[in-house]
């Protein structure tokens, strides 16, 4: 057991001191800080523009003075717009737009129906957001003119434009509300990313770790002092500790950034997970850990079959395909979590970590279904560990070019001879 912990520590130290780990972690933490402070950064730039000449200057030219004045009142209420009416002729206003003196000029005139129509002449710096707000202001002018011609009072117009009263009521004592389902969708997106990243990054680490030792002939020394099974689980545990350290840093920095910018419109609110339920987090951790050990065991098994780094990625490609398939099924299940297909795939071990978590968060399912899925997943990990240990035991003795899954049979035969 002492040798096992020595190998765990050696695996952990060698990876945590590597330049790739330090650089990747630093870039990830910096990206998280940027994302969690994105709103503050954008507001800082907005304030910088306002301190300069950030106001959009618009000139309105119209023979209908009342319409132009109404448009000026509506759009001019926005701090980011400065609207003038009939201070310039159309040709002169267009010339100013071309020269950069104005941001745009709007010509408002009566159409065939007698209602307002507009043509906007813009410069190169006009943004889609500005155009959208201008169209909304013009739409309000058109509605006001139409209501006046139809002799409809303002109270009726406000009642028509008011949003319809709508409320979702979930029947049942334990049904999930719409807000809770949105929170779960946000968490599922986060877990999809984390598990996919874990398999891609740490699975490759485990596979390349074995291939590196085999290519340097270190494995011949190791197997004489430590059993191959202990080696496999030492590498899985060491990489797991590395992942725990990295994700602790990521979550810690992310939590700090979110707390500094909490509230309406914050980073978490944009994902719909402003108020996270503890039971969803616990289920997420359980399925995340089980999913990691399932795929990590598979990665160590496949990595033991190759002795060159260039063959490692090709050998673990079937594992990558599995997580990609699980990803797409989960994305489909976000919109239809109660379909029979989603229910069936939630019991398939390689898909359970994502899909059963999806069902637990978004549906009110019996506890025995969750227990059954976890039991199947744990049982699969044990079976895969037993098979993987035999393959690993023989695979570490195989050298030369090897990139076929048929080598599993040869590895198992070599493990029998070692007995």
Q: What is the mean pLDDT of residues 357-362?
A: 81
Q: Cβ of 180: how many Cβ atoms within 10 Å?
A: 17
Which pLDDT tens digit goes with each residue over 125-160? 666 667 788 888 888 888 888 877 777 776 777 777
* Whether pTM exceeds 0.75: no
Which pLDDT tens digit goes with each residue over 67-105? 888 888 888 777 778 888 888 888 888 888 888 778 888
Q: Cβ of 92: how many Cβ atoms within 10 Å?
A: 14
Q: Please, are residues 251 and 29 in contact by the beta-carbon 8 Å criterion?
A: no
At residue 249, does pLDDT exceed 60? Answer: yes
At residue 217, does pLDDT exceed 60? Answer: no
Model pLDDT, residue 50: 47
- HSE (side-chain half, CA atoms, 13 Å) at 238: 25
Question: CA quadruple 150, 151, 154, 158: dihedral positive or negative?
Answer: negative
Which pLDDT tens digit goes with each residue over 275-287? 556 677 788 788 8
Q: Tokens representing 211?
A: 């291939």
At residue 47, does pLDDT exceed 70? Answer: no
Q: What separation in angstroms does the CA of 28 have from each of 16, 37, 66, 123?
A: 15, 14, 56, 39
Model pLDDT, residue 122: 82
Model pLDDT, residue 168: 59
Query: Which 3 state secondary structure label does DSSP give 104?
Result: strand
Nearest to 316 by CA among 192, 194, 182, 211: 211
Q: Tokens representing 395?
A: 């695979």
């Amino acid at each position: 057991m002492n040798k096992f912990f020595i190998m765990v520590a050696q695996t952990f130290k060698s990876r945590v001191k590597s330049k790739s780990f330090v650089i990747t972690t630093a870039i990830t933490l910096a990206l998280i800080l940027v994302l969690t402070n994105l709103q503050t950064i954008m507001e800082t730039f907005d304030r910088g523009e306002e301190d300069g000449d950030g106001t959009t200057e618009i000139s309105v030219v119209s023979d209908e003075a009342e319409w132009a004045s109404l448009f000026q009142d509506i759009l001019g209420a926005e701090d980011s717009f400065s609207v003038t009416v009939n201070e310039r002729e159309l040709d002169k206003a267009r010339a100013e737009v071309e020269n950069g003196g104005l941001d745009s000029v709007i010509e408002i005139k009566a159409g065939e129906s007698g209602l307002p129509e507009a043509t906007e002449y813009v410069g190169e710096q006009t943004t889609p957001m500005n155009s959208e707000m201008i169209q909304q202001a013009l739409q309000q002018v058109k509605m006001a003119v139409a209501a006046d011609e139809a002799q409809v009072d303002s109270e009726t117009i406000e009642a028509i434009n008011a949003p319809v009263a709508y409320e979702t009521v979930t029947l049942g004592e334990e049904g999930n509300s719409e807000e809770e389902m949105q929170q779960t969708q946000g968490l599922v997106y986060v877990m999809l990313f984390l598990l996919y990243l874990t398999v891609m990054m740490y699975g490759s680490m485990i596979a390349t770790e074995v291939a590196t030792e085999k290519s340097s002939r270190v494995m011949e020394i190791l197997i004489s002092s430590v059993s191959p099974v202990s080696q496999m689980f030492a590498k899985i545990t060491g990489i797991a500790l590395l992942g725990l350290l990295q994700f602790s840093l990521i979550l810690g920095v992310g939590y700090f950034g979110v707390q500094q910018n909490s509230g309406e419109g914050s980073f978490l609110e944009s994902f719909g997970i402003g108020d996270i339920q503890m039971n969803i987090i616990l289920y997420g951790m359980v399925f995340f850990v089980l999913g990691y050990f399932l795929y990590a065991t598979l990665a160590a098994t496949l990595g033991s079959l190759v002795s060159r780094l260039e063959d490692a990625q090709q050998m673990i490609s079937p594992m990558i395909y599995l997580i990609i398939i699980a990803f797409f099924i989960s994305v489909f299940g976000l919109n239809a979590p109660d379909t029979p297909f989603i229910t069936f795939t939630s019991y398939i071990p390689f898909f359970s970590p994502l899909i059963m978590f999806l069902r637990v968060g978004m549906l009110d399912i019996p506890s025995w279904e969750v227990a059954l899925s976890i039991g199947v997943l744990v049982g699969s990990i044990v079976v895969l560990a037993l098979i993987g240990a035999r393959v690993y035991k023989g695979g570490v003795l195989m050298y030369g070019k090897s990139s076929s899954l048929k080598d599993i049979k040869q590895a198992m035969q070599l493990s029998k001879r070692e007995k």
